[in-house]
Structure 1
């Protein structure tokens, strides 16, 4: 077994985590225990598969065991970990969504702390992990922890451009950022959108703004943006029409309510910064939006005073509270909110 050059390193930079894990996979310098965790499913699961494959943990191998869910028995894991691999260099045990890094698992903590069998590697793949727990600290000390948080829009745009380039249909950085704004930040969904776009554009050899509009599935946030745009411009019929389209698509009423609230919160922040004389660059940084979206946002804020946006946001928070306190169902609360927002515009 390799000496594991990265054992015990506790890191706060997810991008460094990815670079280190890539090198571990490339050099096969595996740790006795790995923890892969974070909200970005696409990257976490991609690295889970790459790591396990590099370790020789292929489907059907007699030296590969996989456990999923909170019912996983720690004693069973230890028994397997202490069993020599059959017809393989290493025994690999993959444990997914155990919940042990959110609650605790003293049995596994003690086992890892005392030292995993030299011929075994344990891989944990979890959505969440509490860094304060002893199990997390033990794995960080004895093995390698890799975090995969949700990526920023800018990071995803760079990744997306690289993926399309590999598929033979390059895209400009501006259009990559636009695609993220249209299709969302779910990297798994974006990967599928890349495949569709590449197939559509393969003959001409590149992806354009118009191709994105023609092929990509628009995310819910984008549809809500258009609906709020119509509200801001006083187009009541269009706004309600877009709203009823969302309802017809069976989108969650509460999710729509949350997105509307978030949108008006963003508008209020932008308007406040505008009133204070801040430029687009500063505003984008403060509200976490790409600069090319400012023109659209400012078209909306231009239709409101600061007080009007505060009132609109209050309507949103009142609607949210009505749902949470059981005064209204999410659908009735959302219907009421849309009527109030559209009627408040002249």
Structure 2
């Protein structure tokens, strides 16, 4: 992936790219690099096109790709949502769209030498049984934008830090994942910021990560739950009061607390049934790193305790919708009850 980006930055372009997968950061970053390097600003108006293949037939987009560039050397064509590469069901409007795929097959065999055509397929997987899929993967430079597992995320963080000539300890990397989550864009931004701060020393440590990392609401809720587990109610309340100062809605805070405890319960129950953490992540469709953290928290609860907490959360939700008591106070009382659980 990074090698593909380096080639683009060095003006070594393929005539055909295939970007597929659910990790939007990789797709957006590749598109950005292509836009910045294939065309100049002056050429953009004349030689860049973007199509949605759920609304435009492929043969029209190929006509564009085969048109000589105007006032420039290349054309750049983005083709979004090539649903015909998958086994997924199309939307209603796409079902009415007929694509002459034989023309696409012919184009792939002999692409226009002056065009860079980019298929952008935001799908988990393509239908490998299809002749067209096989041909496209053979002829194109392929970037699979898949979600990274924990080890791959750590390697990614190390690479970003190294690019900035910064070292980062394993403890600091672990802490960053806990505080910032697994979103690649946020992780990249945080490492860039930390690298700038550490430019004098050349090293990022745990203390620096704890001090400077921007926390998402979900990560702050995780911290609240973690403080409750450690019987540190004062710290849990401090995080909660900070969220209120940031104008976070109590009902939203409650929803995320409930979501975290449901996750803990699901992980505990599936572990009891013999599922491994990767299997659990696949079954409940969350990142494996979140499963790992939830598994650590689940060890501090019995199944009965978790069920009682889930009941408390349901009662709290009911009170928020029916009681005249201030919503902020309802959650404060909930935190004290969780502390005593």
When normalised by structure 2's length, the TM-score is 0.69
Task: Write the distance in 1 (CA, Å) between the matches of 2:134 and 2:171.
Answer: 39
Corresponding residue of 1:122: 117
Which string of whole-angstrom CA distances, capped at 9 and with x for unpartnered residues, describes residues 266-322 of structure 1? 43356568989x9xxx7799673489968x945x753x43201122235557878x7
Match of 1:107 among 84, 99, 111: 99
Q: 1:172 matched to which residue of 2?
A: 169
Change (3 A) 1:238 1:213: closer
Structure 1 residues 59 and 254: CA distance shift in structure 2, 3 A: farther
Q: Which residue of 1 aligns with 2:306?
A: 309
Check the 8 A contact 2:171/2:205 in 1, yes or no: no
Task: Quote the Cα distance in structure 2 between the aligned partners of 1:318 and 1:210.
Answer: 38
Q: Which runs of 5+ in 1 are unaligned?
A: 1-17
Q: Does 1:138 align with 2:138?
A: no
Cα distance between partner residues in 2 of 1:133 and 1:318: 49
How far the C-alpha of 1:209 sits from its partner, in A, is 0.8
Match of 2:61 among 77, 92, 101: 77
RMSD: 4.7
Please name the residue that 2:23 is paired with.
40
Following TM superposition, by how much is the alpha carbon of 1:109 offset from its aligned partner in structure 2, in angstroms? 4.3
Distance 2:31 2:143 in 1: 10
Q: Secondary structure at the match of 1:162?
A: helix
Asked if residue 191 in structure 1 is aligned to residue 188 in structure 2, the reply is yes
Partner of 2:146: 149
Alignment of 1:187-266 (within 5 A): 187-233=184-230, 239-251=236-248, 256-266=253-263
Shift in CA distance, 189/23, structure 1 to aligned 2, threshold 3 Å: closer
**Contact preservation (8 Å) 1:224, 1:256:** yes
Distance of aligned partners of 1:216 and 1:314 in 2 relative to their CA distance in 1, 3 Å threshold: same
Distance 1:312 1:192 in 2: 36
Structure 2 unpaired stretches of 5+? 282-287
Q: Hey, what's the Cα distance between the residues in 1 that align with 2:185 and 2:272?
A: 39
Matched, 1:343 2:337: yes
CA distance in 1, matches of 2:100, 2:255: 40
Equivalent residue number for residue 58 of structure 1: 40
Change (3 A) 1:109 1:337: farther
What count of residue pairs does the alignment treat as equivalent? 314
TM-score scaled to structure 1, two decimals?
A: 0.68
1:168, CA displacement in angstroms? 1.7
Distance 1:255 1:187, change over 3 A: farther
TM-superposition CA deviations, 1:38-75 (whole Å, max 9, x none): 33232212222344566x33332266313266896547
Residues 217-242 of structure 1 deviation map (CA, whole Å, 9 limit, x = unaligned):
12323311222234445565654553
Secondary structure of 1:107's partner?
coil
Q: 1:160 to 1:259 in 2, by over 3 A?
A: same
SS in 2 for 1:122: strand
- Is 2:20–2:124's contact at 8 Å kept on the other side of the alignment? yes
